[in-house]
Every structure is written in structure tokens, then in C-alpha cells.
Amino acid sequence: MSTSELYGPGSRAYQDLFDSRRLADRLIEMTVHTELDDGDLALIADQSTVWLSTVDAEGWPDVSYKGGAPGFVQVVDRTELQIPIYDGNGMFRTLGNIADTGRVALLFVDTSRPWRMRVHGTAVVSTEPDDLARHHGAQAVVIVTVGRIFPNCGRYIHKDGEISRYVPRAGEETPIPAWKKLPGLREVLPAADAARLDAEDAGDAGE
């Protein structure tokens, strides 16, 4: 799974429409990686939830919420994750889709930072006794081979029942997230964002 294939023609068209192609390419350079790093491992170890996306035999996407005790998603090594599948409603769409197509995407949401992390990969389903023994109460285990990992800005994650301050509100100017001011990113921002930051800098200099 190549990092260069992260954007298809549709993504490229919208990047050009909204002047974000430069930013999108820089984000690949700065954030996309093919093995779990120490920060990824720490984030996964803290999480009690993950959203597991699959694709069925007809090409329809599906997504399922999975929950457990913190750290229930087990890191075997920097290229393999295991997710226990507990008793559910008996539909087995997630497991069936993996058996049919093998493609998965994981979304971890860390509300404490806040931050998000996506993992793309391929998966198989195991019901082998040795695999089940590693995950108490599991009916099956999804074994994910990591293809690529990339973080996402967490500005729209709501915390403690409060709506994120980055959600647009009528009559208020929405703040620019701090990551857009980082070296290496600011110079590739869409023109509208760059102009806002230049205006902020000019205002600060005049105070």
C-alpha cells in the first residue's frame, strides 16, 4: 500500500477546487507512515474504542464501533494489530466483509488531546484457540496488517459535553487551528488561510 496512492482523482479535484493540493501533498510528506511509531503505540494503548471500516463483496463500505477495556486493541508489532470481536447481534458483517475483501480502515479518536488517527490495511479473521486465548471473551480476532497510518486534526472533537470552539458559529470568526501555523505547513496553506494568518501577524505587530 503506497503513500502516494492516498489521493484519487476525486480528492485531487476537490483539493484544486479549495486550493489545498499543496497542503495535502505536504501532509503526506510530514505525517503518513507505514509502521506504527511510539506515539501511535501510546495512543492505541489508551483507547477503549475504535471504529472499524470494511468493504463488502459488492463494494459497499461499512463501519462498526468496537469497544472494550483500554488497550483492548493489541499491538503485536509495529505492522500488526489484533482486535477482539465479542458477542454481538449475530450479523457478522464485519467478519464477513473481511473474509470477502480483506480491506479495513481503523479510526482511533483520542478525546483527551484531542486527536484522531487512521490506519489503513488488510485483515484476516482468526478463530484459532491460540489467538482467542490472547483476548478474554473474544469469539474471533481480526488480525490487521498495517499498510499506512496518518493522523487527523482533532479540532471538531467535542469534549466533556461541550461543542468544539472550532465549529463555525453565526456572527463569530472561527479560530484557525494551531497546526496550520507550524513550520513546513504555513507556506503551503490555501490562500485564504494564509491571508488570515498574515492579517493576524500584522495585527499583533501593531499592538
DSSP one-letter string for 90-144: S--HHHHHHHHT-EEEEEEEETTTTEEEEEEEEEEEE--HHHHHTSTT-SEEEEE
Helix (H, G, I), strand (E, B) or coil at 71: coil
Give me the tens of pLDDT residue by residue for the chain, a chain 207 residues long: 666 689 999 999 999 999 999 999 999 999 999 999 999 999 999 999 999 999 999 999 999 999 999 999 999 999 999 999 999 999 999 999 999 999 999 999 999 888 999 999 999 999 999 999 999 999 999 999 999 999 988 999 998 889 999 999 999 999 999 999 999 999 999 999 999 999 988 877 666
Return d(Cα 150, Cα 177) in angstroms, integer: 18
Sketch the domain layout of the chain as residue ranges. 33-152
Domain 33-152 belongs in CATH node 2.130.10.10? no
pTM to 2 decimals? 0.91
